[in-house]
Chains A and B, each alone.
Chain A
Amino acid sequence: MKRRLQSLIQPALTGVGLIALWYAAIRITRIPRYVLPAPHEILAAVWQEKSVLWTSAMVTARGAILGFLAAVGVGFLIAMVLGFSPRIKRSFYPYILVLQMMPVTILAPVFVLWLGQGLPSIVAITFMIGFFPVVANTTMGFISVDRNLQELFVMCKATRAQEIRYLRIPGAMPYFLTGMKIAGTLAPIGAIVGDFLAGSAHNGVGGIGYMTIVYFSQLRTPALFATGLVACLLGFIFVGGVNWLHWRLLHTWHESRVTAE
């Protein structure tokens, strides 16, 4: 109980200290409000823009969730194919790397031309940003099966399909979930970037990336920071959700969860 309290109090104290520093910095440097607003101004902007921020958070969240699911689902399938055949892996892995390295800003217009602006392109961009960790980690998981367990399956005269279903897929789960966690942290960022490059807005309200441009161009810096705050919150919720999923799927058997008890 005492430790719980400590783990809440310490960050809270630090937070208060940081905010105090913030005010001091503004006072000392006399930095203009349109460059760095004060915390209370940002909170005021949050309140003032709350319905816009809520809508834009929902837009971004939708893109992030769909893009995340695509990255995880398609990523898993790609990893299965790569893990299944070393020859396929050697042939295709370099090109997957190329896709990963290609800056999203170059791919975005291509997506928009194919898919149209708004949600489809945002999902595509989020997918591009998030799928590689899933593929890389999960492929590793499929390949790194314990040698002894493989021999166990040989002794059981298991077919290749059985080995994949009962050994490789469950064995790859911890790796897959690690990749999923990484994709989870990237998905909100991907959706915001996607929004930036290929978003769509109605009644002046778009996703978080879109609102960033609006507030920036109108020099509404407190609102800009408020948007940043909302983006952070969205990120936390997302990562929290994925972490919960990680715990749920692994806690019964895996050391990483067991030692955390």
Chain B
Amino acid sequence: MTNPSLVQINRLGKRFGDGPWVLDGLDLGVERGEFVSFIGPSGCGKSTLLRLIAGLTAPTQGELVVDGMTPANARELMFFVFQDANLLPWKRVAANVELPLLLRGDLAAKRQERVARMLDVVGLSGSADKFPWQLSGGMKMRVSIARALSVAPKILLLDEPFGALDEMTRDKLNEDLLAIRERDPFTGFFVTHSVTEAVFLSTRIVVLSANPGRIATTIHVPFPYPRTAELRETQPFLERLAVTAHALRAVRK
């Protein structure tokens, strides 16, 4: 039986060694084209869940299927944007962006072309020759996103990528991320502490409770794409914000 979900999670559990269970009994199905945010209190395992989907760590229990394969086998479909920009400090911006292409064996000319396009998409064409230490936090994160996009992933996983940035930069990058998704669609998984961010970006918000991490509730965000900055001031948006905030507070007890 073909499974329509792109990512299917069944009774997923995770513990490290003999430690406490970080995640316990998760069931989740994510369709192609969705944008799912994970929020919850500290220790709820949302980052761990993201890393399980990415195949950076293995489940202790249960099943995790990505496009019909194990996450490790599905790596070509995915890319990860880390909490820290995670750039190679000894390489310039262009070289950092082309890294995944270089490692998978693309030829130089093709790499150059792709890198130029990605830098254009994130608005950093003028910074191709700079070194990471010369960039601001926001710029570094954009390089990281450009790098992730260079392989045209079907699934993009982002682990609190904008957490270290100020609110204005964060809002702007949120808008840019959605704009990119408009042109080159991907299924998104996003971990954040910011309720506003979750509501703005997502089709669905999964709220996790802690100790162990379980899905407490799921909130749908039905606004159509493309979403613009003005959306944040509308009444329906504020309503979704309130619902989500309430769900989060409930889980914190």
Whether A and B touch (Cβ < 8 Å) is answered with yes
A166 touches B103 (CB 8 A): yes
Q: Is the CB of B79 within 8 A of A155?
A: yes
Cβ proximity bits B49-85 to A, threshold 8 Å, 1 near / 0 not: 0000011100000000000000000011011101010
Count, A-B residue pairs, CB within 8 A: 53
* A173 interface hit (Cβ, 8 Å): yes
- How many whole Å from B83's CB to the nearest CB in chain A? 8
Residues in A whose Cβ lies below 8 Å from that of B91: 253
Instruction: Determine the chain A residues whose CB is within 8 A of the CB of B54 once the complex forms.
Output: 155
| Contact present for A154 and B133 (CB under 8 Å) | no
Asked if A255 contacts B133 (CB within 8 A), the reply is: yes
Q: Is A148 an interface position by the 8 A CB rule? A: yes
Q: What is the CA–CA distance of A146 and B87 in the complex, to the nearest angstrom?
A: 11
Note all chain B residues with C-beta closer than 8 A to A153: 103
Residues of A within 8 A of B76 (CB): 157
B104 engages A252 (CB within 8 Å): no
**Are A252 and B99 within 8 A (Cβ)?**
no
Residue among B86, B89, B102, B104 making CB contact with A148, cutoff 8 Å: B86
Closest to A254 in B: B89
Q: Are A155's CB and B90's CB within 8 A?
A: no
As a 0/1 sequence over residues 136 to 163 of chain A, the CB contacts with chain B under 8 angstroms (1 = contact) are: 0000000000101101111111100010
B88 at the interface (CB under 8 A from A): yes
> CA A258 – CA B130 in complex, angstroms?
14
A36–B38 alpha-carbon span in the complex (Å): 77
Q: Is the CB of A148 within 8 A of B84?
A: yes
Q: Is B45 an interface residue (CB 8 A)?
A: no
Contact of A155 among B75, B132, B133 (CB under 8 A): B75
Least Cβ distance of A127 to chain B in Å? 28
Cα distance A258–B88 in the bound complex, in angstroms: 16
CA distance A157 to B102 in the complex (A): 11
Whether B88 contacts A170 by the Cβ 8 Å rule is: yes
Interface membership of B25, Cβ < 8 A: no
State A148–B80 Cα separation when bound (angstroms): 11
Contact between A253 and B133 (Cβ–Cβ < 8 Å)? yes
Let me know if B56 and A154 touch, CB within 8 A: yes
Q: Which residues on B sit within 8 Å (CB–CB) of A255?
A: 133
Query: Nearest CB to that of A146 among chain B residues?
Result: B86
Question: Once the chains are docked, how many angstroms separate the CA of A156 from the CA of B75?
Answer: 8
Known contacts A149-B88, A258-B133; A155/B80 CB under 8 A: yes
A154 (CB) vs chain B CBs: closest residue: B56
CA distance A170 to B89 in the complex (A): 10
Please give the residue numbers on chain A whose beta carbons come within 8 Å of chain B beta carbons, in ascending order: 146, 148-149, 151-158, 162, 166-167, 170, 173, 252-255, 258
User: Can you list 26 residue pairs at the A/B interface with Cβ under 8 Å?
Assistant: A146-B86, A148-B82, A148-B84, A149-B86, A149-B88, A151-B56, A151-B82, A152-B80, A152-B82, A152-B99, A154-B55, A155-B54, A155-B56, A155-B75, A155-B79, A156-B99, A157-B75, A157-B76, A157-B104, A162-B103, A166-B88, A166-B102, A253-B90, A253-B91, A253-B131, A255-B133
B residues apposed to A, CB below 8 Å: 54-56, 75-76, 78-80, 82, 84, 86, 88-91, 99-100, 102-104, 131-133
